[in-house]
Structure 1
Amino acid sequence: MTPSNRWLWLIGLLLAGWLIYLLTPILSPFLIGVLLAYLGDPLVDRLERWKLSRTLAVVAVFALFSLILLAALLIVLPMLGKQLMHLYQLAPRALDWLQVSALPWLQAKLGLAEEFWRFDRIKAVFSEHLGQTTDIVGIVLASATTSSLALLAWLGNLLLIPVVSFYLLRDWDLMVARLRVLLPRRNEETTVQLVGECHEVLGAFLRGQMLVMLALGVIYAAGLMIIGLDLGLLIGLLAGLASIVPYMGFVVGFGAAVIAALFQYGGDLYPLIGVAAVFTVGQLLEGMLLTPLLVGDRIGLHPVAVIFAILAGGQLFGFTGVLLALPVAAVVMVLLRHVHVLYKLSDLYREPSNSHEPPGPA
């Protein structure tokens, strides 16, 4: 690559980043549509191998996704709303428990001053807002309908997602083939190799890790609800979502479940044993069955890199940046692997030749 071509590529990347920044408010439905199309493409390809047409296979996959979404809306969402309301109403009592029981015990153990904890003000503010309304849906709708144009834009973006997903999923293989034809002939093999590695990493993470998150969320939620924890569904789903980073789901879910069990059952030992058993079973299933079966060892994204990518994407581009964070991180990781190999082969890495050797014969 000549220096002029390098400058052109650099200018092109800067312009692309600037354009993404300008289009951030409208990119979310398109990125979600691309994500859904990418996740559904293997299912459509499998149905095509069963002698179905591409359009009919896409319709079948969309019907499956719609049934799953409908089941979540009709079954899970009402239960989750009740638990959120229960948590909202229990917050003042939790603050009382912290102020009367937990914090004085901690204060005595650590030797802190008597006025070190000031939770009375927090409780007063929270109780004031709780007395105003107990309808969380009403609060959300009131804030959303302050601007009719904003509400219409939000509904339009929501309806745009399935339309974009359908057309991208139907034409996915065709678009990939056309993009490959446009590749420079001299760089086609290297580019296809890099794209294949990126696809392997992204597929393992987006498909495999999301299935692991879903399975862990179901396991944790079902187990906590079986032992009678009032907030079991909420904590289980939270632990499943946090499992996008390895071991974070266990830490977040187990800590929240222990606190909820202590608050609900007091010092009773059996609920705590039940919580420990639920998360132990979840970790054993994740380590011995779910991760080896669904993900394998193909991701290679360090947990710290995952956390940094999500936070950096959200800070730079908001929700759009969160959607782009992990795919971009996976692509950067693949490119860094090849840069590392090239660096090991370069003169900069190799030991310098011995300049004191006598010259050879003329």
Structure 2
Amino acid sequence: MNLQRHIGFWLGALLVFVVFLFVFSNVLLPFLVGMAVAYGLDPIADWLERRGLSRLAASLVILIGFILLLVLLVLLIVPLLVNQLAGLVDKVPTYAVQVQALVQAFLETRVGQMLQVDPDQLKNSMGTLMTEAAGWLSTVLKSLWSGGSALVDVAALFVVTPVVAFYMLIDWDKMVARIDSWVPRDNVETVRAIARDIDHAIAGFVRGQGLVCMLLGCIYAFGLMLIGLNFGLLIGIGAGILSFIPYVGTTVGFIVGVSVALVQFWPEWPWIGATVLVFMVGQFIEGNILQPRLVGRSVGLHPVWLMFALFAFGALFGFVGLLVAVPAAAAVAVLMRFAIARYLTSPIYRGQAGGDDQPPALG
């Protein structure tokens, strides 16, 4: 009965949290962003406190510096990205037609001869495929362009978010202590251990992967702009941001970048090859330097599990779901490892004849 009450309590808490997300998902964005900012900046506030500043002074210094940096980035980068996004949206149909002509000519002269395919049939198939792909991409870009101001409301993000972040940063330690006081006393040490593991996973992934995305976006943008690729800044930064989802950022950036390079540089193969090289170098740096050093292996979030969480929470809760997907995925992964560890030491697993046999170690 005691175990049933515990299970019922935690399942009820989970249900309340899910219902809360459903009901208030339309207004949660600035508050979640503010909470994420406070969570990311809390270690800096603790460091400043150890250097003699009060919590209020440390919070003011951090928040003012963060806002100045954000404003500087917005003034320097955002106008360029907006202009390039508008230009790319306008040129997608033209690029699609030109890429179709190039690919079709290659297939007709090379692949068509080897496979003995009817050129007219190949032309019709390619035309249908490229039309559908261009229509889909154009729709996605236009939806981002038209819905961006609605999705990321300027007033909410740039007014409400800093205020929320400031007050949460001031009271972060108090809030953690208050929540700790609400935990059932019989389970407090277990919950604290789980919470430490969840915090380690979230901090390790979000902060580490955030730095990876930022550095990777700079590498792609600088490389593509260096070779003179049209929309290089937009493609590079977009690929870096999308790299938060494993393999998606590089794949999308590679496809868009090479397509633009084919139209812009054809038939100068060295420049097209340089575009491919930029993404190859970025992938090498990410896989061999950035990921091992900034994220590491201790996070415990498998890429497949992360992608599933992002798609699932995005489908359920929209953009707010994408914001809570990584913390939720980290929390569920830690809870699953805890549950499996308990199961492997339980009579259910070991049975009557289990004796003192040790359960297999978790990988």
Alignment partners' CA distance in 2, 1:278 and 1:104: 26
Tell me which residue corresponds to 1:235.
Answer: 235
Tell me which residue corresponds to 2:29.
Answer: 28
Structure 1 stretches of 5 or more lacking a match?
Answer: 130-135, 145-149, 355-362
Aligned pair in 2 of structure 1 residues 332, 39: CA closer, same or farther (>3 Å)?
same
Alignment partners' CA distance in 1, 2:281 and 2:38: 33
Alignment partners' CA distance in 2, 1:19 and 1:254: 39
Alignment partners' CA distance in 1, 2:353 and 2:269: 70
Alignment partners' CA distance in 1, 2:129 and 2:216: 37
Tell me which residue corresponds to 1:94.
Answer: 95
Structure 1 counterpart SS, 2:86: helix
Q: Deviations over 1:83-112 (max 9, x none)?
A: 223313322321331343323544663636
Tell me which residue corresponds to 1:45.
Answer: 46
Task: State the shift of 1:198 in Å.
Answer: 0.3
Aligned pair in 2 of structure 1 residues 351, 268: CA closer, same or farther (>3 Å)?
farther
Q: What's the TM-score, normalizing by structure 2?
A: 0.83
CA contact (8 A) 1:95 1:119 kept: no
Q: How many residues align?
A: 337
Q: Does 1:18 align with 2:19?
A: yes
Structure 2 stretches of 5 or more lacking a match?
Answer: 355-363
Q: Does 1:186 align with 2:186?
A: yes
Tell me which residue corresponds to 1:196.
Answer: 196
CA contact (8 A) 1:99 1:119 kept: no
Q: What's the TM-score, normalizing by structure 1?
A: 0.83
Alignment partners' CA distance in 1, 2:296 and 2:315: 30
Tell me which residue corresponds to 1:283.
Answer: 283
2:124 alignment partner, one of 106, 109, 115: 115
Task: State the shift of 1:163 in Å.
Answer: 1.1
Summarize the alignment of residues 148-297 of structure 1 with structure 2, pairs less than 5 Å apart: 155-156=155-156, 158-297=158-297
Q: Which runs of structure 1 show a deviation greater than 4 angstroms over 4 or more consecutive aligned residues?
A: 117-123
Q: Deviations over 1:246-301 (max 9, x none)?
A: 33333322232222211110031221332233223323332333223322222111
Aligned pair in 2 of structure 1 residues 99, 182: CA closer, same or farther (>3 Å)?
closer
Tell me which residue corresponds to 1:77.
Answer: 78
Task: State the shift of 1:179 in Å.
Answer: 2.1
CA contact (8 A) 2:265 2:272 kept: no
- Mean Cα deviation higher: 105-114 or 305-314: 105-114
Aligned pair in 2 of structure 1 residues 94, 116: CA closer, same or farther (>3 Å)?
same
CA contact (8 A) 2:235 2:256 kept: yes
Tell me which residue corresponds to 1:6.
Answer: 7
In percent, how many aligned pairs have the same letter?
Answer: 38
Alignment partners' CA distance in 1, 2:200 and 2:77: 32
Aligned AA for 1:214?
A: M
- Mean Cα deviation higher: 18-27 or 193-202: 18-27
Task: State the shift of 1:237 in Å.
Answer: 1.1
Aligned pair in 2 of structure 1 residues 119, 13: CA closer, same or farther (>3 Å)?
closer
Aligned pair in 2 of structure 1 residues 256, 118: CA closer, same or farther (>3 Å)?
closer
- Mean Cα deviation higher: 220-229 or 54-63: 54-63
Q: Report which of the two structures shows the higher radius of gyration computed on alpha carbons.
A: 1
Alignment partners' CA distance in 2, 1:336 and 1:278: 39
